[in-house]
C-alpha cells in the first residue's frame, strides 16, 4: 500500500502593515494592536482620507526595472515578489536552483492588478488610444503575477493564477497541496497578494460596506470592513523532501474544503449554508474529528452580514463544540488584504501551532450577543493546539477552508 504524501509548510513570507518579516508579523498579531491608520501613500477620487493597513517595503524590495518602471502601478507585483523571496529564504531554498527548477507557484489576487488599469485611465483623458502600448496586454494579464515570481526564482513547475476573490489565498494553497499530494511537484509556493485600488474603496464605499472608523470583527457595533495591502506566501513541501534536505516542517497542511454559495454576486448566504459545507468537507476529507480543532482563524471582515453568516456556519458544523473553540480574526490588526488575506491567515495559523498561542481580535470589545462563541480578544491566549481551521469567503460566494496541523 502506498503511503499518502504528506505536505508541510517549510517557509513563510508575510508582507503586511505589521512589517515585512514573519517575526514582526507574529509579534504584531500577538500584541493585538490595530495597525489601521490614515493612508499616507494612497488616495481615491473625492474620498476623505482613507484608512487601512499600509505596507512600508524595505530597500531590498525595490522594483526591478525589467518588471516595471512604475512602482505605483506595479505595487501588487512588488508585494508578491517581496513575499516570495522572503518565503524561500525562510525555507532555506533561496538560490537552490535544482530544487526550484521543479517547483511551482500558485498565487491569488483580487484587484491588485487594477493599478495597471488605473494608469491607463489617467492617461486616457489626455492621450486617448495612444495611451495603449504594446505591453499593456501583458501588464494586465493576471498570470503575469505568478509568472514574475517563477521567472525570478527559477521555478519550472506549475505556475497558476487563482482568482476566487477573497478566498484566493486558501484556494491557491489547496491546489498547491493537491499538486504535491499527487506527486506533480515536491515544492510549491502558494498564497496571494493585493493592494489598494480606487475601485476597491469607491465600490465598497458606494455599497456602504466600509467601516466608519476601523473594522471590529464580531463586535456588536461592527459596521464594515477596513482594507490592508500585503502578500502572504507559504512554501509547501512534501514531508520527506523537507526532512531529507534539513528543512523545517513548521506545520502540516492536513486538508481543505470548498463550496460555493450561489446566492448573490456580493452578499454571502446569511445562514452560512455553503460556508458550512466547506468547513464540513475540510474535516471529512481529512478524516478529522471536529473536537480536534483548537482554533478557528475566521474570515471575520467586520461587515454585519459576513460575520453573521460565518458564525452561523461555525455553529452548524461544530454544534455543541462551537462555544468552546477559540476564534479570532487578524483583519482588525492588518486590514482585509483581499487575495492575500487567507494566505496571511494561514501563516498566522502556522505560527499559532508553533507557539501554541492564539492572537486576539483587535477592536473587539463587546461581542455581538447573538453569536455566543469564544472570541479571543484583549490579549493573546495560550492553548494546546493540534489543528487550526482557516476560513475564507469571497465575492461571488466561493468559500475555501484550510485545515492546518501541528508538527512535533
Partner 1 sequence: MASSTTIAVTGMGVIAPLGDSPVALAEALAQARSSIADLPEPSPASASRLTDFDFTRYANIRGMRVYNRASRLGICATRLAMTDAGLESIPGEDLGLVFASHHAHLDTLIEYDRNLVTLGPSRTNPSLMPLAIASAPGAVTALSFGLKAFSITLANGDAGGLDALGLCMHLLEQGRARAAMVVSASSLCSEIVLSAVRAGLLAEARNVRVFDRDSRGAALGEAAVALVLERMDHACQRGAQAKAILRGHASRFAPRPDLIPAGLARAIRRALDAANSTPADLALVSSAGSGVPEMDRAEALSLIDVLGEEKTPVTAVKAAVGEAGACSGLLQTLAAISSLSAKTAWPIPGLRNPAVPGLTYVTQATPLRGNHALVTAATRTGSCSALVLSSAND
Residues assigned a catalytic role: 166, 299, 336
Q: Of 161 and 406, which CB lies nearer to partner 1 in the complex structure?
A: 161
Q: How far apart are CA 258 and CA 336, in angstroms?
A: 20
Q: How far is the CB of 44 from partner 1 (least distance, A)?
A: 8
User: Given the rule CB under 8 A, which of 3-11, 88-96, 223-231, 395-403 is the region that contacts partner 1?
Assistant: 395-403
The distance in angstroms from the start CA to the end CA of the chain is 25
Q: How far is the CB of 367 from partner 1 (least distance, A)?
A: 29
* Residue 117 DSSP SS3: helix
Largest CA distance in the chain: 67
Q: How far is the CB of 224 from partner 1 (least distance, A)?
A: 14
Q: Of 62 and 132, which CB lies nearer to partner 1 in the complex structure?
A: 132
* Residue 189 DSSP SS3: strand
Q: Which of 261, 307, 310, 368 binds partner 1 (CB under 8 A)?
A: 261
Q: Which of 27, 37, 96, 260 binds partner 1 (CB under 8 A)?
A: 260
Give the chain's count of helices (H) and strands (E).
Answer: 13, 16
Q: Of 19 and 108, which CB lies nearer to partner 1 in the complex structure?
A: 108
Each residue of 104-133: b (16+ CB within 10 Å) or e? bbbbbbbbbbbbbbebbeeeeeeeeeeeee
Q: Which of 73, 86, 198, 331 binds partner 1 (CB under 8 A)?
A: 198
User: Given the rule CB under 8 A, which of 197-205, 215-223, 227-235, 315-323 is the region that contacts partner 1?
Assistant: 197-205
User: Given the rule CB under 8 A, which of 67-75, 117-125, 232-240, 299-307 is the region that contacts partner 1?
Assistant: 117-125
Q: Of 216 and 277, which CB lies nearer to partner 1 in the complex structure?
A: 277
φ, ψ of residue 145 to 5 degrees: the values are -60, -55
CB-count exposure of residue 229 (10 Å: 0-12, 13-18, 19+): buried
In the block, cell 454571502 appears at 268
Q: Of 124 and 305, which CB lies nearer to partner 1 in the complex structure?
A: 124
Q: How far apart are CA 254 and CA 221, in angstroms?
A: 35
* Interface of this chain with partner 1, residues 166 to 195, rule: CB under 8 A: 171, 175, 178, 182, 184
* Interface of this chain with partner 1, residues 126 to 165, rule: CB under 8 A: 129, 132-138, 140-144, 147, 150-151, 154-165
3 DSSP 8-state letter: P
Give the binding-site size for partner 1 (rule: CB under 8 A): 75
Q: How far apart are CA 194 and CA 341, in angstroms?
A: 9
Closest CA to 179 of 200, 158, 210, 206: 158
User: Given the rule CB under 8 A, which of 21-29, 32-40, 116-124, 340-348 is the region that contacts partner 1?
Assistant: 116-124
Q: How far is the CB of 132 from partner 1 (least distance, A)?
A: 4
φ, ψ of residue 216 to 5 degrees: the values are -135, 75
Does 287 engage in binding with partner 1 (CB under 8 A)?
no
* Interface of this chain with partner 1, residues 324 to 363, rule: CB under 8 A: none
Q: How far is the CB of 198 from partner 1 (least distance, A)?
A: 6
Q: Of 42 and 395, which CB lies nearer to partner 1 in the complex structure?
A: 395
Q: Give me the 21-60 binding string for partner 1, x by CB under 8 A, dash otherwise.
A: -----------------------xxxx-------------
Confirm if 343 and 110 have CB atoms less than 8 A apart: no
User: Given the rule CB under 8 A, which of 66-74, 115-123, 239-247, 350-358 is the region that contacts partner 1?
Assistant: 115-123
CA atoms within 13 A on the CB side of 232: 33
User: Given the rule CB under 8 A, which of 220-228, 238-246, 252-260, 301-309 is the region that contacts partner 1?
Assistant: 252-260
* Interface of this chain with partner 1, residues 203 to 222, rule: CB under 8 A: 203-207
- Secondary element (H or E) of residue 389: strand 387-393
In the block, cell 495603449 appears at 132
Q: How far is the CB of 131 from partner 1 (least distance, A)?
A: 9
Instruction: Tell me the CA distances in angstroms from 230 to 135, 296, 345, one per residue in order.
Output: 25, 22, 12
Q: How far is the CB of 36 from partner 1 (least distance, A)?
A: 22
Q: How many CB atoms lie within 10 A of CB 30?
A: 20
Paired with 230 in beta bridges are 194
Amino acid at each position: 500500500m502506498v503511503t499518502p504524501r504528506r505536505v508541510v509548510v517549510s517557509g513563510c513570507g508575510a508582507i503586511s502593515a505589521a512589517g515585512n518579516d514573519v517575526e514582526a508579523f507574529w509579534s504584531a498579531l500577538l500584541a493585538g494592536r490595530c495597525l489601521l491608520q490614515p493612508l499616507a501613500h494612497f488616495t481615491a477620487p473625492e474620498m476623505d482620507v482613507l484608512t487601512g493597513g499600509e505596507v512600508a517595503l524595505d530597500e531590498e524590495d525595490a522594483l526591478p526595472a525589467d518588471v516595471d518602471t512604475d512602482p505605483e502601478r506595479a505595487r501588487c507585483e512588488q508585494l508578491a515578489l517581496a513575499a516570495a523571496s522572503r518565503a524561500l529564504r525562510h525555507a532555506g531554498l533561496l538560490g537552490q536552483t535544482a530544487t526550484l527548477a521543479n517547483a511551482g507557484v500558485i498565487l491569488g489576487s483580487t484587484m491588485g492588478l487594477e493599478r495597471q488599469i488605473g494608469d491607463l485611465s489617467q492617461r486616457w483623458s489626455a492621450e486617448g488610444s495612444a495611451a495603449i502600448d504594446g505591453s499593456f496586454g501583458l501588464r494586465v494579464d493576471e498570470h503575469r503575477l505568478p509568472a514574475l515570481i517563477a521567472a525570478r526564482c527559477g521555478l519550472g513547475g506549475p505556475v497558476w493564477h487563482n482568482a476566487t476573490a477573497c478566498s484566493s489565498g486558501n484556494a491557491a494553497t489547496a491546489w498547491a497541496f493537491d499538486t504535491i499530494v499527487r506527486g506533480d511537484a515536491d515544492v510549491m509556493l502558494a498564497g496571494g497578494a493585493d493592494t489598494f485600488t480606487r475601485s476597491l474603496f469607491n465600490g465598497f464605499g458606494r455599497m456602504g460596506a466600509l467601516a466608519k472608523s476601523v473594522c471590529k470583527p464580531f463586535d456588536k457595533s461592527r459596521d464594515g470592513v477596513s482594507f490592508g495591502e500585503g502578500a502572504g506566501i507559504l512554501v509547501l513541501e512534501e514531508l520527506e523532501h523537507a526532512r531529507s534536505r534539513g528543512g523545517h516542517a513548521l506545520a502540516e497542511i492536513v486538508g481543505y474544503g470548498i463550496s460555493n454559495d450561489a446566492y448573490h454576486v456580493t452578499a454571502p448566504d446569511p445562514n452560512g449554508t455553503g460556508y458550512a459545507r466547506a468547513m464540513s468537507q475540510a474535516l471529512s476529507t481529512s478524516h478529522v474529528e471536529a473536537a480536534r480543532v483548537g482554533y478557528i482563524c475566521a474570515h471575520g471582515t467586520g461587515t454585519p452580514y459576513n460575520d453573521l453568516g460565518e458564525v452561523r456556519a461555525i455553529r452548524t458544523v461544530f454544534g455543541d463544540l462551537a462555544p468552546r473553540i477559540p476564534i479570532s480574526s487578524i483583519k482588525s490588526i492588518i486590514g482585509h488584504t483581499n487575495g492575500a488575506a487567507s494566505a496571511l491567515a494561514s501563516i498566522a495559523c502556522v505560527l499559532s501551532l508553533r507557539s501554541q498561542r492564539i492572537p486576539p481580535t483587535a477592536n473587539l470589545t463587546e461581542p455581538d450577543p447573538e453569536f455566543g462563541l469564544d472570541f479571543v480578544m484583549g490579549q493573546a491566549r495560550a492553548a494546546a493546539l493540534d489543528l487550526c481551521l482557516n476560513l475564507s469567503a469571497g465575492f461571488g460566494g466561493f468559500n475555501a477552508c484550510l485545515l492546518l496541523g501541528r508538527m512535533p
